[in-house]
Amino acid sequence: MEKEITETPNEKKRFTKEEIMERKISMVKERGSRVMKINSPLGSIMFNVLRQFDQAYAHFKGQLGEPGGISHEEGAALMDEAREITMAFSEFTGQLSKKVRFKYFMPQELQELQQATSGKKRASAD
């Protein structure tokens, strides 16, 4: 006789390994998804932070300018800080790469952002 499994409202369904793998494969096929092999413990931590940042960003966009949400001024300040952190990490990656003789290619979007930022700084200095 099969045992009936009842879930209480507070219990979450536990997925099988096969269900998790199917979900991951499905996510890979989605537009905007990325697959990455991570080689370092610190990279794994940073990837987890990045994943959560991306989820928080989706909520941020939904609350931007909404009553009880985030004002446009506060949102712009937060995104400026996010850009500064991204630029600093890119610069660090470039330094590390140079020390270990690894060729670092700054992403094109980041190069454009860097040029736009340096152009604004030059214009305000004049």
pLDDT (tens, 9 = 90+) of the chain, 126 residues, equals 455 555 566 677 889 999 999 988 898 888 888 888 999 999 999 999 999 999 999 999 999 988 888 999 999 999 999 999 999 999 999 999 999 999 999 999 999 988 887 777 667 666
**Cβ neighbours of residue 36 closer than 8 Å, sequence gap 6 or more:** 47
What the block records as the tokens of 4 is 């009936």
> What is the C-alpha separation between 73 and 17, in angstroms, rounded?
45
Q: What distance, in Å, lies between the first and last C-alpha atoms of the chain?
A: 83
Closest-CA residue to 107 (of 121, 94, 120)? 94
Q: Which residue has the tokens 């932070």?
A: 49
Which regions of 20-100 does DSSP assign to beta strands (E)?
A: none
